[in-house]
């Protein structure tokens, strides 16, 4: 959607790359690639957390990253918007392409990148500020010169929270329920008009009703945004994602395909064993 936005600068623009044809597990109907990793290796000191991962993630779809604890899902997710830059011992080799550019190129501004690739974390983390200011925060930092209140309303509507909070925009975001706080964080992530939303286990700290609302919301978000979600919940991955990437121990991407294929007829025995609960 923001390909056409007037505030998109050349540096930030997303030049979507054509999906390689002939790839055995690629459905042409998926459209263009939003994010691609090429020969990605990630290390924490001497420990390798991602092992030579290449993947093309389609735009405006939900892609789930699943796999046992410690297999590198969160590390991979954090590579996409350079959140791993914050970790001193972390070293990244290879490319992550977004907008036809490697996000690790020297001239990429990580702050601008994170406006285009927003992130939502496991535990809702609103700022100790009003609901309005939580959503407006990123807009103010980027010097947004449009109508902030209108953008706040639009973002809260986009996060399916507006009806619940429209009469209390000056109340603290911390006074909301856990599920509402998480939707507030989603509103905060979509306010700067991103193209990709990364979600790291966004429902695992929520009760089932709140989690179900976020799942419905993710489905709606994928009409406008590319959603990449780490989840431990395989039913959730099966319910909400179009594509599923299975990481296994050692940071290897073992299988990546349409979600139905992964859950019904995976190619790899190790994937079948993981999905049927034989390990992990
Ligand atoms: N900040 C860090 N410093 C050092 N090692 C780390 C750091 N973060 C992750 N690791 C290591 O990298 C590997 C991958 O971790 P990561 O959190 O990416 O896996 P994960 O699949 O997301 O795990 P989980 O499902 O438990 O969240 C693990 O061995 C972990 O111990």
ipTM for the whole complex: 0.98
Fold of 2-275: Rossmann fold (3.40.50)
Report the pLDDT value the prediction gives residue 21, as an integer from 0 to 100. 34
Question: How does DSSP classify residue 99?
Answer: T
Does residue 180 contact residue 165 with C-beta atoms inside 8 Å? Answer: yes
- State the pLDDT at residue 182: 96
Task: Name which residue leads in pLDDT, 88 or 17.
Answer: 88
Q: What is the CA radius of gyration of the chain?
A: 18
Please tell me the predicted confidence (pLDDT) of residue 142. Answer: 84
Å from CA of 248 to ligand 1 middle: 12
Distances (CA, A) of 198 to 83, 160, 268: 11, 18, 26
3: which 2 tokens?
């390909």
pLDDT digits (tens, 9 = 90+) for 141-181: 888 999 999 999 999 999 999 999 999 999 999 999 999 99
Mean pLDDT computed over every residue of the chain: 90
Tell me the whole-structure pTM to 2 decimals: 0.90
Name the residue among 252, 255, 259, 257 with its Cα closest to residue 271: 255
* C-alpha 72 to ligand 1 mean position (Å): 6
Instruction: At 98, list the tokens.
Output: 């977004």
Give distance in angstroms: CA of 233 to centre of ligand 1.
Answer: 18
Q: Where are the domains of the chain?
A: 2-275
Q: What is the pLDDT of residues 11-31, one digit of tens each?
A: 333 333 333 333 345 455 677
């Amino acid at each position: 959607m923001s390909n056409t936005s007037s505030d998109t600068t050349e540096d930030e623009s997303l030049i979507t790359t054509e999906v390689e044809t002939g790839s055995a597990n690629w459905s042409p109907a998926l459209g263009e690639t939003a994010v691609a990793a090429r020969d990605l290796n990630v290390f924490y000191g001497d420990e390798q957390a991602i092992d030579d991962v290449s993947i093309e993630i389609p735009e405006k779809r939900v892609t789930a990253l699943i796999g046992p604890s410690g297999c590198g899902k969160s590390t991979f997710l954090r590579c996409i918007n350079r959140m791993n830059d914050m970790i001193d011992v972390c070293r990244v080799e290879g490319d992550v392409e977004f907008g036809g550019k490697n996000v690790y190129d020297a001239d990429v501004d990580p702050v601008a990148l994170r406006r285009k690739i927003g992130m939502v974390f496991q535990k809702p983390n609103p700022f100790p500020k009003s609901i309005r200011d939580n959503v407006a925060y990123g807009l103010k930092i980027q010097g947004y010169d449009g109508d902030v209140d209108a953008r706040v309303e639009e973002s809260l509507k986009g996060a399916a929270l507006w009806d619940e909070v429209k009469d209390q925009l000056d109340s603290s975001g911390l006074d909301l329920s856990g599920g509402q706080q998480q939707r507030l964080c989603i509103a905060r992530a979509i306010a700067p008009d991103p193209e990709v939303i990364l979600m790291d286990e966004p429902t695992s700290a929520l009760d089932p009703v709140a989690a179900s609302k976020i799942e419905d919301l993710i489905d709606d978000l994928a009409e406008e945004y590319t959603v990449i979600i780490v989840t431990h919940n395989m039913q959730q991955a099966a319910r909400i994602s179009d594509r599923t990437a299975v990481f296994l121990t050692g940071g290897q991407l073992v299988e990546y395909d349409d979600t139905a294929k992964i859950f019904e007829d995976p190619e790899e025995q190790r994937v079948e064993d993981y999905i049927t609960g034989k390990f992990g």
